[in-house]
Amino acid sequence: MTRLRLVRGLAAGVALCAGFAAVAQSPFLTQSRIGAGVESLRDWSRSQMLADLVYSGRAWGSPTDPWQGQSGIILDANGWPTQDAGMIFMTGQVPSSGQGGIYHFSFECATLPEVRLVASSGTLQNVQRDSVTGIVTGEIVFPEDGTQLMLGFFNTSDGTTGGVRNLRLLRPGATPGQLFTQRFIDHVNRFDILRFMDTNMTNQTTVSQWSNRTQMTQPNWRSRTGMPYEAEIALCNTVDADMFICVPHLADDNYIRQLARLIRDTLEPQRNVYVEFSNEVWNIGFQQGIWNRDQAALEVAAGNTNLTYDGNTNPTVTRFRRYARESKRVADIFMQEFNVTNPRGRVRPILSGQTARLDIYDYQLQYINDVYGPPRNYFYSIGVAPYFEAWTLDTTNPNLTVDQFITGLTAGVAKWNTDLQLEYHATTAAWYNLAPMVAYEGGVDTRFNSNLNVKRLATYDERMFGLCKTFLDDWHRQVGGDFVWSVAGAGPWNISSGSYTLTENMLDQATTKIRALDAVDAAPLPPLEVTRVPGVIDARRHPKRNPATWSQSPGSAMLLQGQGFDYMVQTDVPRTVPVTIYHSTSEANASVTLFVGGVENATVQLPINPNPNAVEFFAAQPVNVTFPAGVSTLRVVSNRTQGFVLQTIILGGCDDIDFNRNGIFPEDQDVIDYFNTLAGAPCPYNPGPWEGCDIDFNNNGVFPEDQDVIDFFTTLAGGTCP
């Protein structure tokens, strides 16, 4: 019977669905959570972040040449100059970026000093001193085409006391006590998560004690730990964003405890906090990476350490293990102070690694699991940093065109679907029952000192919108969770360090990157690149496959004793289904053990292939396997010495009756879409290339067939799937 005749003959069955109540599903990932990093405080930042420019100004310098830095300038105990001095507040700004207007300043001084604009555009007006309070006030009329602002303070001494104190310099429209500009608040209001790695100077700080952190009362926030935590918490509360904090690598237990208490007591209770031990400790290009490596070596040399619990003394392994242990220490203290035991609630510790190094996560998670217990007791998820780029093309051809560079970036986006890194990490997170992997940073990477103007033009090219959106959609298809874009705000896009920011001008909030992030945030998530239960797994498709040749073989690579292949599966509700493995083995008494999320489920005996000279596939006896709701990892582990190959794994039972995957079932539209698809119409949902449009409802491997339709209606009417 043809599909068309089959549909016509049973079209009346559509009426069976009339009047059914719509029931919403609870899929594993229902929305995209997009965040961004907040940049460090710099006078050359174009993000217009702080309302008071003094906090982000440079160190005090000469009143005539403030760019010379703190040469010979004596400061008091609070950080204010005791003599004539100058400061740089803004440099490298973009004309016509909304920074023109009247800036108001005030400070304390023993006399009415001379205030000068140094190498700056604009004019001073209304400078006066209150003889009772000693407070000097004034205004700067800064032009819209101005690019830098510096002030020098002369004749500040009355013969006894010199210098200025409690200087404030407010942007146009800002009021005393205001922390962030409305323009910056509006910009970051789109994000669900704000990460403060750069803002807290994580890669530079040497602070270890809580008393030495940057505090709100300090005149400048460009030292110690950067922006005060109190200000960061206030920003998160203002824009309703979760907080992503990086704890300094030298922080002692009291520092971590006090930080946890501060966040617990002042971050809005509906806001979560992501906690990471420092930043990229795997990278020995950073001081924290060197420190961790050296500390691990000292500990191993001294003996009596659990870093070598299994006899492995490889220094690469032990430094990764030490980072995992330090991350657990931070997680333990935060969860203690928040009085929680589940790291998937308000406190969300992240265990990060190098995305390109698959073994780092294995070293870290296996160590935690073996020494301390399941990683899910300590960590929310693993952290990765996916970027797309065109480095090879960029560094080998200094004369690229925009089209050529876009072509290179297109290949960079596609790479994430072929090199299997994200698939491997997603499978690892699911194996340990963690939340979907988190991108602690990521985006487009245009670094290197070549083709700078071409890369800038490419970032404005409308194709960049599509690249960024496709990149993020692919991330979510591969079971990626929260994604933190590298950095919010504005900055130049034609520099060798890369065009990481979202815009060049804070007045331009419709750049390709911003629109892509907004579009992804507003849209439903794409279908996950996993096998739904019930369903059929192509056993060749596992994270260890050869991405170039895997589809050319009739079965998987040889599976040897103790080895295992992982497969990601998804079910919206817990299910126990019969699992059938199609395999080829020439060894008697061969078997495999099936694990789901680290838990052993069943052992399957594999019948021998009677023809050892040919690869023929046979079905093993089905065994029942239980899958929890959500995404999990099915691991097939060999128990025999000789190798065998796998072809197909059938996760038995019928498909969901929500055929069109719109989250509503049962409904008329599911039946209509099912029959339309049987008749050759396009799939009603957007299937990934890994699955196609599934019309094999009963998953018996035969389709199209009458029995699929019969079983569909039987299940729809409340019957049991055969």
Taking only the tens place, the pLDDT of each residue in 494-509 is 999 999 999 999 999 9
Query: What pLDDT does 10 receive?
Result: 37
Q: What's the CATH number for 66-178?
A: 2.60.40
Structure tokens at 104: 């108001």
Query: What pLDDT does 399 receive?
Result: 97
Is the confidence at residue 318, as pLDDT, over 60?
yes
Is the confidence at residue 169, as pLDDT, over 70?
yes
Is the confidence at residue 11, as pLDDT, over 50?
no
Is the confidence at residue 35, as pLDDT, over 70?
yes
Is the confidence at residue 7, as pLDDT, over 60?
no
With contact defined as beta carbons under 8 Å apart, do 40 and 55 qualify? no
The residue to which tokens 């994270």 are assigned: 543
The residue to which tokens 């990093």 are assigned: 37
Over pLDDT 90: what percentage of the chain?
Answer: 75
CA of 184: how far to CAs of 50, 77, 87, 469, 506, in Å? 8, 32, 23, 23, 8
Structure tokens at 471: 């990149």
Query: What pLDDT does 205 receive?
Result: 94
Q: How confident is the model at residue 652 (pLDDT cuts 50, 70, 90)?
A: confident
Is the confidence at residue 444, as pLDDT, over 80?
yes
Is the confidence at residue 55, as pLDDT, over 70?
yes
Structure tokens at 281: 């400790």
Rounded (5°) CA angle 603-607-611: 150
Give dist(CA 622, CA 431) in Å, integer.
23
Is the confidence at residue 654, as pLDDT, over 80?
no
What is the rounded average pLDDT of the residues 87-99? 96
Rounded (5°) CA angle 650-652-655: 105
Is the confidence at residue 22, as pLDDT, over 50?
no
Query: What pLDDT does 26 receive?
Result: 28
Q: What's the CATH number for 185-522?
A: 3.20.20
Is the confidence at residue 13, as pLDDT, over 60?
no
Lowest model confidence (mean pLDDT) among 113-117, 181-185, 574-578: 574-578
Q: How confident is the model at residue 16 (pLDDT cuts 50, 70, 90)?
A: very low
Q: What is the mean pLDDT of the chain?
A: 90
Query: What pLDDT does 439 receive?
Result: 98
Structure tokens at 199: 């803002």
pLDDT digits (tens, 9 = 90+) for 326-367: 999 999 999 999 999 999 999 999 999 999 999 999 999 999
Query: What pLDDT does 17 receive?
Result: 32
What is the rounded average pLDDT of the residues 443-463? 96
pLDDT digits (tens, 9 = 90+) for 528-563: 999 999 888 999 999 999 988 988 888 888 888 888
pLDDT digits (tens, 9 = 90+) for 454-479: 999 999 999 999 999 999 999 999 99
pLDDT: which is higher, 418 or 87: 87
Q: How confident is the model at residue 23 (pLDDT cuts 50, 70, 90)?
A: very low
Query: What pLDDT does 30 receive?
Result: 55
Query: What pLDDT does 31 receive?
Result: 65
SS3 category, 511: coil
**Residue 247: closest CA among 138, 334, 371, 153:** 334
C-beta neighbour count of 35 within 10 angstroms:
27
Query: What pLDDT does 440 receive?
Result: 98
Is the confidence at residue 717, as pLDDT, over 70?
yes
CA of 253: how far to CAs of 209, 248, 428, 583, 672, in Å? 9, 11, 30, 53, 61
**CATH architecture of residue range(s) 531-651:** Sandwich (2.60)
What is the rounded average pLDDT of the residues 437-451? 96
Q: How confident is the model at residue 701 (pLDDT cuts 50, 70, 90)?
A: low
Phi-psi map region of 203: left, alpha, beta (phi>0 left; psi -120 to 50 alpha)? alpha
C-beta neighbour count of 247 within 10 angstroms:
23
With contact defined as beta carbons under 8 Å apart, do 533 and 627 qualify? yes
Domain boundaries, the chain: 3-23+658-716, 66-178, 185-522, 531-651
Lowest model confidence (mean pLDDT) among 76-85, 496-505, 547-556, 659-668: 659-668
**Residue 267: closest CA among 244, 236, 245, 246:** 236
Q: What is the DSSP pairing of strand 347-352 with strand 381-384?
A: parallel
Query: What pLDDT does 692 receive?
Result: 56
Is the confidence at residue 690, as pLDDT, over 50?
no
Is the confidence at residue 687, as pLDDT, over 80?
no
Lowest model confidence (mean pLDDT) among 35-44, 80-89, 505-514, 578-587: 578-587
Query: What pLDDT does 442 receive?
Result: 98
For residue 188, give the H/E element and its range: helix 182-188
Query: What pLDDT does 540 receive?
Result: 92
Q: How confident is the model at residue 8 (pLDDT cuts 50, 70, 90)?
A: very low
With contact defined as beta carbons under 8 Å apart, do 598 and 546 qualify? no
Question: What pTM does this model have?
Answer: 0.89
